[in-house]
Structure 1
Amino acid sequence: MPFADWTFWKYISSTIDIVLVWYVIYKLINIIKGTKAVQLLKGIFVILLVKVASDFFGLTTLSWMMEQVITYGFLAIIIIFQPELRRALEQLGRGRFFSRSNNPEDEDQEKTVEAIMKATDYMAKRRIGALISIERETGMSDYIETGIGLNSRISSELLINIFIPNTPLHDGAVIIQRNNVAAAACYLPLSESPFISKELGTRHRAALGISEVTDSITVVVSEETGAISLTKNGELHRDLKADEFREILTNELLDQHKTKQASSARWNWRGKSNG
């Protein structure tokens, strides 16, 4: 169709179409960022490059093989990307895929940070092992169901008491959901990464594992050394000092939340008009 024949509404619809496709791709990239899916995407890109190169140089057999991989690779992608697809569908079902913020109270967030700081400091000094995972945008209901439900207001005393050795709830992870201790003695998926140091135990592997399939923040206190570590987006931050630990927690749970709140307020500025 000649450019001059395009109507105004076709301009509008094309613009909306481009913006929506860009936004969906942006959200999908955010979902898979920091997970094993990034490496898999690189592998797919390599396969596409090989296919283009084989066509260009006339490598018939290699081109046919790559064509078969691409043709039947859709089912393989569904299987390989199952955790990421599940996260995307879950966020879509919860109405979070297109949302700007979930607006928790700043005061509750501050209490959560302080409770975690105080509890981890106490346990680190006494070498009490602990594993605390904080739910963010991606729901962790499946993992909460593997533990003992508490649904209690968070406090440092409660966290410390849970992880005291030889108590019924000390073995496993505590999951914090909406600034409450949702459950204790929860099972988290272990990371299968071959790059994890052999000196790290099950707690660290579980912390890395949950960070690879959700956007949670997970805190680990080593039973052997008392060192405090933190995982997020598939990354492990080891042997954190108190000020480093506070800085990361504050940035992830408070500063980013306040930024989201400000963005949400601008997004919904019409909400309280005329009322």
Structure 2
Amino acid sequence: MQFADFTVWKYLASIVDIVLVWYVIYKLINVIRGTKAVQLLKGILVILLVRVVGGWLGLTTLSFMMQQAINWGFLAVIIIFQPELRRALEQLGRGRFFSSSRTQDDDNQEKTVEAIVKATDYMAKRRIGALISIERETGMSDYIETGIQLNSNISSELLINIFIPNTPLHDGAVIIQKSNVSAAACYLPLSESPFISKELGTRHRAALGISEVTDSVTVVVSEETGNISLTKNGELHRDIKLEELKEILAREMVIQNKTKQASSARWNWRGKNNG
């Protein structure tokens, strides 16, 4: 009887062990999602695949080279993934690593849209240059770290004050993450597209550049003309009206969020029925 109890306990411990390892890996993936580390992780997986295939085909030299890369790869991983490891440890210290991630509330999304539209209207009328990027599915942690972190509740007044000329934070982009102003004075990658009009400046090129590498939505206010532009999915929409800006932001943020929640609810309902 004791032997049977020990066997059952051993099976339970194995299940708990597997679940915890899976959860930690899942959280680590969330930490590096949307950063440059994802591409590096793909490179590591390619090295492992080449090592396995090389050994299977008997490619001695190639297998030896890949094995050496794997043997010394541990140190390389620590160096390459240093920002992500630091971020994971910081979240662990704050107790956020094992916290559940929730979808943004529709009210917060609508509040974000209203704040951006109101601030954009104010700055466009006064020709105050602005660059506001809104994070969506692809993480923007790499770009947040280039600026001054704020982690503040969003408001139109805060956005306007950030972009007032000659203030410490006006030069660069504001990144909005989960309905909060995460950082200001951030550096965004400049687009190298040869089709951008020569009359557009650095703000528009940066807005288009970030839309090429992430799924973010970025709003630009021209300092020279006061015109409003928006970029998403590598496309630049120039000289849009305020009503059109509000419509696009509502469609991209609020409506899509409701669609995802409805899809998730249907999936859970079906799962319960099938179960």
Both structures adopt the same fold (TM-score exceeding 0.5): yes
Q: Which residue of 2 aligns with 1:245?
A: 249
TM-aligned CA distance change 1:94 to 1:237, over 3 Å: farther
Alignment-mate amino acid for residue 59 of structure 2: L
Confirm whether residue 221 of structure 1 aligns to residue 223 of structure 2. no
TM-score (norm 2): 0.64
- The one-letter code of the counterpart of 2:71 is T
Q: SS of the counterpart of 1:22?
A: helix
Cα distance change, pair 114–62 in 1 and its aligned pair in 2 (3 A):
same
The answer as to whether partners of 1:123 and 1:221 remain within 8 angstroms in 2 is no
1:98 aligns with 2:98: yes
Supply the distance in 1 between the matched residues of 2:178 and 2:33 (Cα, whole angstroms): 23
Structure 2 contact 134–177 (Cα < 8 Å) conserved: yes
Partners of 1:117 and 1:246 within 8 A in 2: no
Quick one: distance in 1 between partners of 2:151 and 2:21?
42
Q: Please give the residue correspondences for 1:4-83 in structure 2 after superposition, counting only pairs within 5 Å.
A: 7-83=7-83
Q: Deviations over 1:203-257 (max 9, x none)?
A: 4648977x98xx9977441427631236xxxx767438522222333368x769x
Partner Cα separation in structure 1 for residue 255 and residue 63 of structure 2 = 49
Report SS of the residue matched to 1:227. strand
Q: Do the aligned partners of 2:170 and 2:185 also contact (CA within 8 Å) in 1?
A: no
| 1:88-127 pair list within 5 angstroms | 88-101=88-101, 110-124=110-124
Matching residue of 1:187: 185
> What's the Cα RMSD here?
4.6
**Distance verdict in 2 for CA 1:202–1:15, change over 3 Å:** farther
Q: How many matched pairs?
A: 242
For residues 121-172 of structure 1, the C-alpha deviation after alignment (integer angstroms, 9 at most, x for no partner) is: 4445766421346799979688436xxx897x75424433542445665323
Q: For 2:186, give the aligned amino acid.
A: L
Give the CA deviation at 1:202.
4.7
- TM-aligned CA distance change 1:40 to 1:189, over 3 Å: same
Which whole-Å CA distance do the structure 2 matches of 1:99 and 1:73 have between them? 31
Whole-angstrom distance in 1 between the partners of 2:248 and 2:104: 24
Residue matched to 2:268: none
* 1:66 alignment partner AA: M
**Per-residue CA shift, 1:159-209, capped at 9, x if unaligned?**
3354244566532344668977687xx4324448xx753648654648977
Kindly indicate whether the alpha-carbon contact (under 8 Å) linking 2:130 and 2:220 is maintained by their aligned counterparts in 1. Answer: yes
Distance in 2 (CA, whole Å) between partners of 1:116 and 1:141 is 22
What's 2:148 paired with? 144
Paired with 2:230 and 2:207, the residues of 1 have a C-alpha distance of 15
Q: Is the 8 A contact 1:190 1:207 kept in 2?
A: no
* Equivalent-residue separation in structure 1 for 2:146 and 2:39 (angstroms): 26
Q: Secondary structure at the match of 1:187?
A: strand
Shift of 1:99: 0.5
Aligned to 2:171: 171
CA distance in 2, matches of 1:216, 1:89: 27
Residues 170 and 36 of structure 1: CA distance in aligned 2, closer, same or farther (over 3 Å): closer
Distance 1:250 1:86, change over 3 A: farther
CA distance in 2, matches of 1:86, 1:218: 27
